Structure 1
Amino acid sequence: MKAIYLDNAATTKIDAEVLELMHTSMQENFGNPSSTHQFGRKAKSAVETARKNIAKQFNVTASEIVFTAGGTEADNLILNNAVLNLRIQRIITSKIEHHAVLHTCEFLKKTYHISLDFINVDAFGNIDQLHLEELLSTSDDTTLVSLMHINNEIGNLLKVDEISAICKRYDALFHSDTVQVIGHYPLDLKKTPIDFIVASAHKFHGPKGVGFAYFKKGFGILPMFHGGDQERGARSSTENVHSILGMEKALSIAISNMEKDRHKIESLKLYFISKLKNISEAIEFNGHSSDIHKSSYTILNVRFPVANEMLLFSLDMAGIAVSGGSACQSGSNKGSHVLDEILNKDAADKTAVRFSFSKFTTKEEIDFTITKIRELL
């Protein structure tokens, strides 16, 4: 049976060069970065070099990068720090954010009694910028706006430059979950002044369990973990040396090959869309996922004209790995909170599947998937 992986928004295959570097590091660079002897200094030097190299990719300084266990921890660190350390009294977000943001905001509201407001979104998942301005203009509370750059389910691209300008105009801080952006789109934080971003290495062919948070210079960081002084006091815990080095390598590869990989993946996505339309004109696409200019070239959220609860299982049995929404929810019977928010009941009752692509995806895999979908429908 074929094994076809079309769930790259959930996680990606580790690049062979990354695996090789991490294997070498595990054998030769096993010291604790907090140790003062030569083995510790060697590990510490490797971590700090990786930090500097990562920072350069976003036109920021190394001191603004904090290594974490992934995007979820990075989001939590930023949001908790905003409330507990930066005295944020109000958070504005949307109901189609990743649960790493939504659930954290709900926790902060319940625990610390901050205000929590939601921006309107339309049937395509577009953020209502006029509503954002209205929300910002109606309160003098210190405010953080949290909106993801690329939606992990429908692939919508946020107009971050415009959101940044609005936040600056109203003296609000701006946090963006950029997990689906890093390694796929260029991001210069001098040109687009976002205050806080996050990354997770396994979204761009790096290892799982490692990521980073970016804190713009000038914002102090109150750690969530205690018991050590790692990451300049921002995150207690021995650094995951091999994974940090693997993340830096994966990011370097992704950025070096970004245009070439984008052209290939974008072509495959457009080809897939055309083949789906040939199956049935009744097949539709959620959000802006079929628009190559308004959505990520790696994500396509397809709404089939039927309700087929077995479709994901049937595709899996055919060797095709996809998702019904975010990977975090695939084992849940609650469905997609994103689609529930933007679709009417009739559309939401139809079966939706998220296909997501990578540089390892092939045209032959797309053709095989189309054949199986045609059979199953």
Structure 2
Amino acid sequence: MNEHTSQRTARRLRMVRYATTATAAAGLALTAMAPTAASAAPRPDVVQQRLDALVQKDGMPAALATVKGRDGRSRTYTAGVGDLATGSRVPVDGQIRAGSNTKTFTAVVVLQLVAEGKVALDASVDTYLPGLVRGDGIDGRHITVRQLLQHTSGLPDYMDAPALSDFTTIQYRYFEPRELLDGALAQKAHFAPGTRWEYSNTNYLVAGLLIQKVTGRPYGEEVTKRVIDRIGLRHTYVPATGETALREPHPHGYLNTGPDAPLIDYTEMDSSMAWSAGAVVSTNTDLNTFYGALLAGRLLPAAQLAQMRTTVPAELLGPGVRYGLGIQSRPLSCGGLVWGHGGTSVSYRTRGGVTEDGRAVDIAVTTIPEAPAAQHMTDAVDAALCR
């Protein structure tokens, strides 16, 4: 998300911005757990092998996944330990902080408002939030709603503000959305709107404010009503103000502040720092359900879903990656694309998505992986969908 004082940690936290943006303490012995009896495969399973490798070779405290195959069946997997202090098992399909998968939820709500005629994609931000977005080279009169959702606005990332420079000091600190926005507006615009693509959490912070202004209701209530309840995501929610603990069984998540430093348990946190850009809590299975319902047209009319899937190159996220309106596509080694988003919070990372024919995978780890472990997560998604 943001830079730490050390150069190595700064690199790690920059990855959080890209969401697509820490390794376990040295010498920690972690053993992989087999799938539950109900989901165990009769022969060595490529997904289990990949999760085991993320734990045993890449040092992730835990890894967990849900995979939906061509047959429509879902299987769940776990590896590692759920709590480093106790050595407890990883809960099957446990809750995790979904990070920037939240952006897709936010984009869906905005596009629903577009379908209702309450928002226009090519109208300026100032149309809905007059005078709010102003700064050095920043003018909301020249930034469109589409540019917010597609990360082509040029707005600097509020995660680069000094207030978010050290996660160890703000684990339980509450941030107002306006305070976060002010941290972005204190910086200089990165480029003229519409001239480049660059991932910025500020875009979705502003989108959340737009949702509240247009609907007259809190952001979390709108996401719950329009998305979570609509498709029955029983283990997904937007944390309430002041809520710091996860509600259901979950693996613990960990912040790494350096290669020789002990991991910090960052499971509990005030997620207001992420808000409409990254606060949603979910499970692997619920995320598969969400992206499957989205691509199947259960959340958006055809016209708005087509707009969402109109993409621009986003090579910073990986070779061949393209970004639409709150969703990205990534080529698969076996042909075709996987559609999803992925997310990184302070202490969890998820990768996954769905294919046109309904295959789906979501994989989570419980600390932020550096290279090459980060690439190994992407490779595991590809292996699960192409097996």
Does TM-score exceed 0.5, indicating one fold?
no
Q: Over alpha carbons, which structure has the higher Rg?
A: 1
**Higher percent of residues as helix:** 1
TM-score bracket, normalised by the shorter chain, equals under 0.3
TM-score for the superposition, normalised by structure 1: 0.28
